[in-house]
A and B are shown apart, each in its own frame.
Chain A
């Protein structure tokens, strides 16, 4: 079990996470959804120990979660300048014994011997994903992994996430597009104004869109029809 216990986090005077609490089952894929500014990335930053909370803690198997427990794919990926894709990957330890770069790159088709500046946005995202999955960790976090990916790589990423679940890994994933989350997640958690307000299990995934966007769709339709 991963237990998020009363996490608070503020930036300047703005409270981003507000007494956040939630238990997450292990070996499952958890989708985190919420509007912009709901606190998804801040939650992931704290979950991965990239950031400290103002108060509260996160326990993994009843021990304080450590950076070594987590592989984290950030929303925006930063690569050191003038190094090749292959060199970037070599910086990260190869602890996932199943990982075979050549085979997986036949699928992703990255020019690994070229410097990363020559890569497109989607290629950079693929490279960052490779750097994550070459590491064997019990917890994987993917923050907006589908941004900038082509359709084929979207499918490949969904397969990668499903494969992580079969290897009993716990996966957290956020996306602004619901369809890939519905396809890969076991549970989806709605984050609103820094608090988890609702959890959806597979059986009621179909309600998400309706519940989330019903009011918004009504008012948006009115506004757009009258002003655009």
Chain B
């Protein structure tokens, strides 16, 4: 299974091209360094520990290949565990070089237990009336909210509960942005694309304005509360909101830069994750913005291929 994953990663990197591969490498290096710094601090290391376990738990519960792996692959638990162990090394191994090294064996132990979980969430219709609030034209949001509502709800709740604390609610909101950005990985069919708009520019404008509106509606009450409790943090909250909007715009533009009808652009996951994580690292903050400008013309060019009569 590890071999298969390595082939998949190679294919994704090939799809992205050498320029993006270097950017990813830079992001990865920055991430490892940032994780190392975080592990040197007591609270941040605990936070990283919890997030690592929750993320892998979410992946294990929702992964669609689990039945196949448990039925067809020899030593399924060991294979799944090996995947989690190897591919999280960049964010787990830095802990070994800090005073919080003990989180490393704890994470590994947790991964082993998680790899044993066989149950998968069944297909069922949650929130059948969601389209009364969100128009079916915003199908990415309808679909995405149905997929990730539990995580989004928990993070939104945590952000509400902690809205009087300075940085913590922003971290919870960042997790929501990351989830929302993942809404834009599935490419719609050509009939849906053509039903959405008559031109690439109009389509991107519609998608961006709608998604920004939804994100603001979700975030603004918490950010206002946070600013009331921490008046000195108003500017930081505004900058935070702008960064989240940038991440979302980047996700939309990336989708349409690589748009291929009826495909799920898994190759974008890596880049999207890097940009989302990069937004937490101050010295790589301008990169998402630069990439937005870069991808806008690319998205238009790619869409023109489909829209031209």
Contact = CB atoms under 8 A, between A and B. Distances in A.
Interface stretch (B8-16, B83-91, B131-139, B153-161): B131-139
A67 B194 contact: yes
B54 to A, nearest CB: 22
B128 interface: yes
Contacts of B125: 84, 113-115, 118
B308 interface: yes
A81 B186 contact: yes
Interface residues of A, number: 29
Given A52-B308, A113-B125, A115-B125, A82 B191 contact: no
Contacts of B100: none
Interface string A98-115: 000000000000000111
Nearest to B145: A82
Interface string B86-123: 00000000000000000000000000000000000001
Interface class of chain B by DSSP = helix
A80 B195 contact: no
A11 interface: no
B143 A80 contact: yes
B30 to A, nearest CB: 33
A83 B190 CA distance: 17
B128 A80 contact: no
B194 A117 contact: no
B37 interface: no
A10 interface: no
A87 B136 CA distance: 5
A118 B123 contact: yes
Contact of A84 (B131, B144, B192): B131
Contacts of A131: 191
A84 B128 contact: yes
Contacts of B144: 82
A86 B135 CA distance: 11
A130 to B, nearest CB: 12
A37 interface: no
A84 B136 CA distance: 9
A49 to B, nearest CB: 5
A228 interface: no
A9 to B, nearest CB: 15
Interface in B207-232: none
A114 B309 CA distance: 35
User: How many of chain B's residues touch chain A, expressed as a range?
Assistant: 20 to 34
A38 to B, nearest CB: 22
A91 B190 contact: no
Centre residue among A86, A91, A118 by max chain B CB count within 10 A: A91
B142 interface: yes
A72 interface: yes
Nearest to B188: A80
Interface in B140-154: 140, 142-144, 146-147
A168 B124 CA distance: 41
Contact of B192 (A52, A64, A80, A82): A80
A155 to B, nearest CB: 25
Contacts of A118: 123-125
B196 interface: yes
B86 to A, nearest CB: 29
B192 A49 contact: no
Contacts of A81: 143, 147, 186
A87 B142 contact: yes
Nearest to A118: B123
A188 to B, nearest CB: 26
A55 interface: no
A50 interface: yes
Contacts of B123: 115, 117-118
Contacts of A50: 190
B191 A72 contact: yes
A32 B105 CA distance: 65
B189 interface: yes
Given A80-B186, A114-B128, 15 more contacts: A49-B309, A52-B308, A67-B309, A80-B139, A82-B142, A82-B146, A83-B139, A84-B128, A87-B142, A88-B136, A90-B131, A90-B135, A91-B137, A91-B139, A91-B196
Interface of A: 49-50, 52, 64, 66-67, 72, 74, 77-84, 86-88, 90-93, 113-115, 117-118, 131
14 contacts: A72-B191, A77-B189, A80-B139, A80-B188, A82-B143, A86-B131, A86-B136, A90-B135, A90-B136, A91-B195, A113-B128, A115-B123, A117-B123, A118-B125
- Ranked nearest first, the 10 interchain pairs of A and B with the lowest CB-CB distance are A90-B136, A87-B136, A78-B262, A82-B143, A78-B189, A82-B146, A115-B125, A113-B128, A117-B123, A87-B131
